[in-house]
A and B are shown apart, each in its own frame.
Chain A
């Protein structure tokens, strides 16, 4: 299939859906819900086709907005907005579309008793749109626009249940922190634009390799600071533990599963590998030209990653609120992904670095499925029992067997038990970190020990002696149960073919991310 022809529909369909939602809402409630499902389903179809096309060709799709070619008339540099999708971006696109679709289906049952649902469905589609845009864009300012679309939609969705203080407090906190992070990123973009006079990522990479200035280093620091904020890395994870539990559970699933990855880790990886490049660093250093030391940057990220994975997982152990536990666990898992990314950067060019990067990409996808599953289950529990306090949920296995079984699968996967998908990705990260530096490997294992303790505690509660409150509960209706079943089945199936997926998809994606020259020449045409 021609990937280039279908790429714009990835943006057009959700945009059309979001704009037409108020008009469709006039017809009635059923029409609105059907419309949301149709739009996110169509987006998922386009995303799957795009992923397949990129995966099959192993190429990079470049799409220019407003003209045939990104280059200006009579000049040899790009002046237009380009979208550029390599295999890494395509994996993110597929992940976003899949989890968003399931979250929308889940919302049909979960949000039934809420009001203001036309806004809810508009915002959820806008949130999906922002993330898809970040994953496909090849233009730095376009990236910022999509980042803001995503962030503002998520601020509003966190505060959607505005009849409780919790939602409003979390929403305001998230908005303040997110705005600070966004302004860091905007300042970084402004500095780069002022220095090099271009916003196209691939051309910027060329300019940066030719003349790596102090301004570029300052901009890099701002990008890393802003994006670590957005991804919830450890010293600045405090907003995440408030925002993710306060949102409706379908939104928590998207925030924890997608937003912190696409708006944080993916963007960071894209900036570090495709603009500031370890490849250029190695080459410039070898020939004695000025360079930006990406090795140091990699180590900086590794340090933040170690902090994140210890603190996040350890904080998860002591939580009594189920959703808060899951949110802290997300912080911990982001630590693993950042660890893979940092090692990929510091050990660039070696096989270890490539494996670490593949592990990070793999874990990003796996964690999106697992954490979406766990948050959807937490939503079911809240829906049935009206509480998420673990002390009151004892013995849930008796009355909600299907839900508990799905939770068991999700928890086992996130700990990294062998027949499930989390095992392979965590193994790649452990393996590469142990080879790169045994201390890092040990830290990663300690993080997993904490993670295991946290989830065993939840499972112990679920399988414990039934409390009175739990006896009335039952498994949820079909629209809430099916997304959970689909995610659980996906986790099991991905767990059955771990090394095939790693060989066929994740390693090529890591190679595509590392291959900066291909990323540049796809736009500049080898010029």
Chain B
């Protein structure tokens, strides 16, 4: 029997998903936060976190997702991610667009290279991109789930 539109996938899947979703989220947050130190960054981490959202959608079904998903909130958060990115790029506009003034002059994110609080605006940009990618991907997948046209 194929699962009907909007229904969940059963107890075993739901229980495992409940256990795994926070772990995926934490791992994604780690990738975002260490974007300037390790391979990966905002996009990859944001996509990982979005994987948690998509697992929720698949395991618990569209009806449950609808209760937790707010289109306007996600849309606004996506815009916010872009704006923070642009704002970080604007910080050093006195010298040049994208000038990394935080790294050169401080006051924060100017620690020793290789530590978490280094690299100037890069961590901020990674967080912004992570937010944008997470909200954008989840919105896209919810839209695909909602607007499917075939009958089940």
Question: Residues of A with Cβ closer than 8 Å to B?
Answer: 8, 11-12, 15-16, 18-23, 25-26, 63-68, 118
Contact = CB atoms under 8 A, between A and B. Distances in A.
B16 interface: no
Given A12-B86, A16-B83, A22 B78 contact: yes
B97 A20 contact: no
12 contacts: A8-B96, A8-B97, A11-B97, A12-B86, A12-B97, A19-B83, A19-B85, A20-B83, A25-B75, A26-B76, A65-B97, A66-B92
Contacts of B75: 22, 25, 118
Nearest to B99: A66
Most B CB contacts (10 A, CB to CB) among A12, A16, A23, A26 go to A23
Contacts of B72: 26
A15 B98 contact: no
Most B CB contacts (10 A, CB to CB) among A12, A22, A25, A63 go to A22
B100 to A, nearest CB: 7
Contacts of A25: 75
B97 A67 contact: no
Given A11-B97, A16-B86, A66-B97, 4 more contacts: A8-B97, A20-B83, A22-B76, A23-B76
B79 A19 contact: yes
B104 to A, nearest CB: 10
B145 interface: no
Of all A-B residue pairs in the complex, the 4 with the closest CB atoms, nearest first, are: A19-B82, A22-B79, A8-B97, A22-B75
B96 A68 contact: yes
Task: Please report whether the interface of chain A is mostly helix, strand, loop or mixed according to DSSP.
Answer: helix
Interface residues of B, number: 19
B80 interface: yes
A63 B96 contact: yes
B137 interface: no
Contacts of A68: 95-96
B102 interface: no
A26 B77 CA distance: 12
A64 B79 contact: no
Contacts, number: 49
Contacts of B78: 22
Contacts of A19: 79, 82-83, 85-86
Interface of B: 72, 75-76, 78-80, 82-83, 85-86, 90, 92-93, 95-100
A25 B74 CA distance: 13
B96 A64 contact: yes
Nearest to A66: B98
A442 B3 CA distance: 68
Most A CB contacts (10 A, CB to CB) among B75, B76, B95, B97 go to B97
A27 to B, nearest CB: 11
A435 B83 CA distance: 54
A25 B78 CA distance: 13
A67 B83 contact: no
B77 to A, nearest CB: 9
Nearest to B100: A66
A319 to B, nearest CB: 33
Contacts of A20: 79, 83
A23 B79 contact: yes
A66 B96 contact: yes
Nearest to B135: A22
Given A22-B75, A65-B98, A12 B90 contact: yes
Contacts of A18: 82
Contacts of B82: 15, 18-19
A23 B90 contact: no
A64 B79 CA distance: 26
A16 B84 CA distance: 10
Most A CB contacts (10 A, CB to CB) among B76, B79, B92, B93 go to B79
Contacts of B93: 8
A155 to B, nearest CB: 15
B99 A67 contact: yes
Contacts of B99: 66-67
A99 to B, nearest CB: 25
A67 B95 contact: yes
Nearest to B85: A19
A8 B93 CA distance: 9
A23 B97 contact: no
A94 B79 CA distance: 27
Contacts of B86: 12, 15-16, 19
A118 B98 CA distance: 28
A25 B76 CA distance: 9
A28 to B, nearest CB: 12
Nearest to A81: B98
A66 B98 CA distance: 4
Contacts of B83: 16, 19-20, 23
A412 B72 CA distance: 48
